């Protein structure tokens, strides 16, 4: 795994308008990136960021035409951070679960897959560079309060592993990022202690610069990674206990 220098780099970030993506965009600029392509479904949501190195592009990662347009607009990229994600948070028994699961898979798995297919040739032409997927510890062990979201992140983790092998032949480093609870809109309902998106972004860039292929960017994720490495089954039981405690607390509150 090759370390990637952030200073002077040309990077594309998906889902750059809020949460971890926004924090990553700001951190890249602060660390001296030469250019940052900041993408979002609504480009106007990035209108308050003012930097001559910033190029704002419209990009819905489920839209093949927008992906093609972004590829054409960014021929010089060296690092891609596939961050855009969605969690619709339905229980397995909800009537809308299947539709929500399809949407999560479209954004969280098929989106990064399409980006890989479309941008791998660009990275190869520019010397290899790096492709970074922002997953979740819930993709390693299912967090059952987000069952279908966790499944989509598990699919992304599997894709990341494959891409690491297959793109290595062209000199592209593939990094997987596995956060725990982060203080963003997506995790608003969680009662766990959460890490700020800014701290997560710093840890992600530190990991990329260190050539750390699996990045656990917050205290919860670091603790989880140690337990997962020692015993995946123990991690499964840990998450099951957390979910049970949350459900019990919700029932008591009601």
**Contact of 208 with 217, CB cutoff 8 Å:** no
Q: pLDDT band for 103, please (50, 70, 90 cuts).
A: very high
Q: What residue spans define the domains of the chain?
A: 10-253
Q: pLDDT band for 251, please (50, 70, 90 cuts).
A: very low
Marked catalytic residue, from 35, 114, 153, 194: 153
Instruction: For the domain made up of 10-253, give the CATH fold.
Output: Rossmann fold (3.40.50)
- Based on C-alpha coordinates, what's the Rg of the chain? 18
Higher per-residue confidence, 82 vs 95: 82
Return d(Cα 43, Cα 210) in angstroms, integer.
31
pLDDT in tens, 111-165: 999 999 999 999 999 999 999 999 999 999 998 888 999 999 999 999 999 999 9
Q: pLDDT band for 254, please (50, 70, 90 cuts).
A: very low
Q: Which residues contact 96 (CB under 8 A, 6 or more apart)?
A: 88, 90
Q: What is the pLDDT of residue 238?
A: 79
Q: Average per-residue pLDDT in the chain?
A: 91
Marked catalytic residue, from 35, 37, 109, 149: 149
pLDDT in tens, 175-190: 999 999 888 766 566 6
What percent of the chain clears pLDDT 90, i.e. is strictly above it? 73
Angle at 128 between CA 2 and CA 209, to 5 degrees: 35
pLDDT at 193 over 90: no
Q: What is the pLDDT of residue 69?
A: 97
Confidence (pTM): 0.91
Give the least confident one: 19-23, 27-31, 75-79, 142-146. Answer: 142-146
Instruction: Tell me whether residue 37 is one of the annotated catalytic residues.
Output: no
Say how far residue 125 (Cα) sits from the centre of its chain.
Answer: 24
Return d(Cα 49, Cα 38) in angstroms, integer.
10
Instruction: Tell me whether residue 109 is one of the annotated catalytic residues.
Output: no
């Amino acid at each position: 795994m090759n370390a990637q220098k952030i200073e002077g780099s040309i990077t594309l970030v998906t889902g750059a308008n809020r949460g971890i993506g926004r924090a990553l965009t700001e951190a890249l600029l602060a660390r001296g990136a030469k250019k940052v392509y900041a993408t979002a479904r609504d480009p106007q949501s990035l209108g308050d960021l003012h930097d001559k190195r910033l190029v704002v592009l419209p990009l819905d990662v489920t839209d093949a035409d927008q992906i093609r347009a972004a590829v054409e607009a960014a021929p010089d990229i060296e690092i891609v951070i596939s961050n855009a994600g969605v969690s619709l948070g339905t229980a397995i028994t909800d009537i809308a679960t299947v539709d929500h699961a399809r949407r999560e898979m479209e954004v969280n798995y098929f989106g990064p897959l399409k980006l890989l297919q479309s941008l791998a040739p660009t990275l190869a032409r520019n010397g290899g560079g790096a492709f970074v997927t922002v997953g979740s510890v819930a993709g390693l062990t299912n967090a059952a309060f987000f069952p279908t979201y966790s499944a989509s992140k598990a699919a992304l983790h599997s894709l990341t592993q494959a891409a690491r092998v297959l793109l290595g032949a062209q000199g592209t480093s593939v990094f997987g990022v596995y956060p725990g609870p982060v203080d963003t809109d997506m995790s608003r309902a969680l009662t766990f202690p959460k890490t700020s998106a800014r701290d997560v972004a710093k840890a992600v860039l530190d990991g990329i610069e260190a050539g750390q292929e699996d990045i656990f960017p917050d205290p919860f994720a670091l603790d989880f990674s140690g337990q997962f490495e020692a015993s995946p089954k123990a991690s499964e039981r840990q998450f099951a206990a957390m979910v049970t405690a949350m459900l019990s607390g919700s029932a008591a509150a009601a």
